Amino acid sequence: MRRIFTIAANTFRETVRDRVLYGLVAFALVILPGSRLVITLSVGQEVRILKDFGFGAIALFGLLIAVVSGTALLFKELDKRTIYVLVAKPVKRWELLVGKYFGLLATLLLAFLIMGITLILTLLLMGGKPDGLFFLTIAGLFGQLAVITAVAMLFSTLAAPALSAVFTFCVYIAGTAADQLRLFADRMPGDLLKTAAQAVSYVIPNLQNFNFRAESIYNLPVDQSKIWLMLAYAALYITFALTVASIILERKDLK
Amino acid sequence: MENILEIDRLTKRFTDWEHFSLKSRTILDQISLEVKPGEIFGFLGPNGAGKTTTIKALMGIIRPSSGTARIMGHDILERSQEVKKRTGFLPENPYFYDYLTVGEFLRFCAALFGITGRQARQRTAELLELVGMSPAAGLPLRKCSKGMLQRTGIAQSLVNDPEFLVWDEPVSGLDPIGRKEVKDLMLELKKRGKTIFFSSHILPDAEALCDRVGIIVGGRMHRVGTLPELLKDSVSWIEVVAQHLPEGFALDGAGTQKVAGQLLIRLEGPESLDPALKKIMQAGGSVISVVPQRENLENYFARQVRTAKEAGQ
Ligand SMILES: Nc1ncnc2c1ncn2[C@@H]1O[C@H](COP(=O)(O)OP(=O)(O)OP(=O)(O)O)[C@@H](O)[C@H]1O
Ligand SMILES: [Mg+2]
């Protein structure tokens, strides 16, 4: 536990010092003037459009952090051989992986905090108010990216950052359309093809479990069970991805 | 007392894609050696002999293909945590997180052993002092010179006060003063009861430092023993420089060469020195210097490689 925390804290320090947060300041500077534009364009719809725009931007910036850092962290450690010193200390490889994961998650959380506060301020400025659904939506976005970060780290045990990033991005796209994907798989011709497609559609994380954007923007009621499902699904999927990643890393010769 | 390190028939094969087919290369071929408590053991061999590969296998960075190794009686794979708690490792050409300062890095390493807070700060300060890096504690690692990284690497290997040190090329990248300081540090650590296993491809690094050395050539353990023992059969000769000798002066079985008005005479073996000196005197010459020469390790290695290859054929 202590070692995982130490590595997480160090990873947090690494990613924060890695100029990721500077990009977020830029985000804050984009969304404020961006909201002005919205006001003049659509009278009466400002708050709704601002929310939509804000959620989209948070998802996009969060995705960038998760994919870029998630795929690069382990690779950098291997590439620059800084991992040698870690492995020779009483740190197990899975502890290293899990520590790095939570360190990156902490950075992501900080980023969400900065972006969320900026969005709330803009919202208040325009006479809107964040409600429970607003926070739930942002939590959902964070949940998606927590899963995607784990996927990015899993790919990074197998491939170089650029390739892992492309794969992770594909998983994100597929994951946000998971239900459609499943329907599509069910209609595949031929048993073999169908089974294969279904298997793929189940391995890919269903990110629709985390999506409250529609409810939030149109003020629809949310089912309690959907929240529990989201939490359980995230925990399970992250455990699954990190376990597979650990098994791969454990057997690997570090070069 | 039991051995600190026991390597038993350690073998490592790397499999690579080469010309569209899988090729397996044996990099370590049944390496065996033992290191006793309290000794400084030099692991010597030319570039590419497999020193770093052996050390990586010991530290759990790569997996041996076969064979075993035990450190302080624990199998390095099955009891890796016990081993690592009591071992310190310096990698070859160390490189560390460039986003940390020297001090932050050492505190991070200490934290991995559960040393935190004031204890960690104190330990860090001691280690920086020990390796002569105190003024550079706040320097970002990305601004460190090669020598400073080496010293930082040595400091981090000592953070858990280990009984056994595994250092890969500890004096490479250091200037002569730095080399001396590191060698003195090794002797000091030995005095404190530590055991040191270090690699080098330079003989003078090992001389006057090692209790025993092991020589690895082409992935095979060549010999293990004390240096004089190993170099006993290495070629040695004596160079005599004389002047005022008559034209055409020659000695049986010795090469001569005129250099700037003086004569350089190369004698094979110490037994020919006395007669040679007598002859020089009789011819009216005067001796300027007599210097015994020994083959350097590079030549020694080259010869061993040749013998090893011939034996292999
Ligand atoms: N990951 C790897 N895959 C394939 N071959 C490797 C790998 N690592 C090392 N080798 C090969 O193993 C051999 C021994 O390398 P090693 O680094 O152990 O030598 P060394 O004795 O440490 O040499 P040096 O004095 O240059 O540090 C070299 O021929 C090298 O090319
Ligand atoms: Mg080496």
Q: Tens of pLDDT along B136-161?
A: 999 999 999 988 999 999 999 999 99
Which of the pair, A42 or B275, is modelled with greater confidence?
Answer: B275
For residues B303-313, one letter each, b for 16 or more C-beta atoms within 10 angstroms of the residue's C-beta and e for the rest, the string is ebbeeeeeeee
Ligand 1 pocket test, pick from B52, B56, B92, B168 with the greatest ligand atom count within 8 Å of Cβ, gives: B52
Q: At A198, is the pLDDT very low, low, confident or very high (cuts 50, 70, 90)? A: confident
Tell me the CA–centroid distance for residue B72 and ligand 1, in Å. Answer: 26
Residue B33 belongs to some domain of the structure? yes
pLDDT grade for B184, boundaries at 50, 70 and 90: very high
CA dist B10 and B58 (Å) reads: 10
Sequence spans of domains, chain A: 2-251
Whether residues B61 and B122 fall in one domain: yes
More reliable by pLDDT, A245 or B283: A245
Closest residue CA from atom 5 of ligand 1 = B14
**Which of B97, B106, B113, B159 to mutate to probe the A interface, most A CBs <10 Å?**
B97
Q: Say yes or no: B149 and B289 in one domain.
A: no
Domain co-membership, B205 together with B290: no
**Which domain-ending residue is among B225, B246, B272?**
B225
A110 phi and psi, to 5 degrees?
Answer: -60, -45
Chain B contact for A36, CB < 8 A?
Answer: no
Residues in A closer than 8 angstroms to B99, CB to CB, are 13-14, 17-18
Report yes or no on B35 lying in a domain: yes
Note the pTM of the prediction, 2 decimals: 0.85
Q: Does residue B146 share a domain with residue B288?
A: no
- Residue from A213, A211, A222, A77 nearest A145 by CA: A211
Q: Which residues contact B236 (CB under 8 A, 6 or more apart)?
A: B269, B292, B293, B294, B295
**φ and ψ at A153, to 5 degrees?**
-70, -35
Residues B239, B200 share a domain: no
pLDDT tens, residue by residue, A73-85? 889 888 889 999 9
For ligand 1, residues with CB inside 6 Å are A 255; B 14, 16, 27, 45, 47-53, 92, 201
Give dist(CA A231, CA B273) in Å, integer.
88
Cα B119 to Cα B18: distance, rounded to the nearest angstrom:
51
Cα A219 to Cα A134, A142, A144, A210, distances in angstroms? 10, 20, 21, 16
- How much is the pLDDT for A253? 85
B23 in the same domain as B166: yes
What does the pLDDT average to over B106-113?
95
Are B51 and B185 contained in the same domain? yes
Shared domain check, B128 and B20: yes
B91: chain A residues, CB-CB within 8 Å: 81, 84-85, 88
- pLDDT tens-digit series, residues A113-129: 988 888 888 888 877 78
Contacts of A90 in chain B (CB under 8 A): 80-81, 84-85, 112-113
Q: Please write the tens of the pLDDT for every residue from A135-157.
A: 988 999 999 999 999 999 999 99
ipTM of the complex: 0.85
Q: Are A242 and A81 in contact (CB under 8 A)?
A: no
Q: Do B270 and B205 fall within a single domain?
A: no
Are B177 and B281 members of one domain? no
- Residues B179, B98, single domain; the answer is yes
Tally of domains within chain B:
2
Read off the tokens for A224. 């309690």
Q: Which of A16-25, B28-37, B107-116, B274-283 has the lowest mean pLDDT?
A: A16-25
Atom 18 of ligand 1, residue of closest alpha carbon: B50
A31-48 confidence digits (pLDDT tens) = 766 766 766 666 667 777
Ligand 1 atom at minimum distance from B169 CA: 27
Q: Residue B69 in contact with residue B57, Cβ under 8 Å? A: yes
The answer as to whether B300 is a domain residue is no
pLDDT of residue B234: 65
Residue A150 has a pLDDT of 96
Same domain, B84 and B169: yes
d(CA B107, CA B292): 50
CB contact under 8 A, B60 and A87: yes
CATH of the domain at B93: 3.40.50.300
**Interatomic CA distance for residues A56 and A119, integer angstroms:** 11
In a domain, B42, yes or no: yes
Query: Is residue B186 included in any domain, yes or no?
Result: yes
CA neighbor of B35 nearest in space, from B79, B87, B82? B87
Our measurement of the distance from residue B79's CA atom to the centroid of its chain's CA atoms, rounded to an integer in Å, reads: 27
CA of B50 to the centre of ligand 2 (A): 7
Nearest by CB to A81, from B84, B91, B111: name it: B91
Is A88–B89 a contact, with Cβ atoms under 8 angstroms apart?
yes
Q: Residue B272's domain spans which residues?
A: 235-294
Q: Name the residue with higher pLDDT: A240 or A215.
A: A240
Question: In sequence order, what are the residues at sequence separation of 6 or more whose Cβ sits closer than 8 angstroms to the Cβ of residue A187?
Answer: none
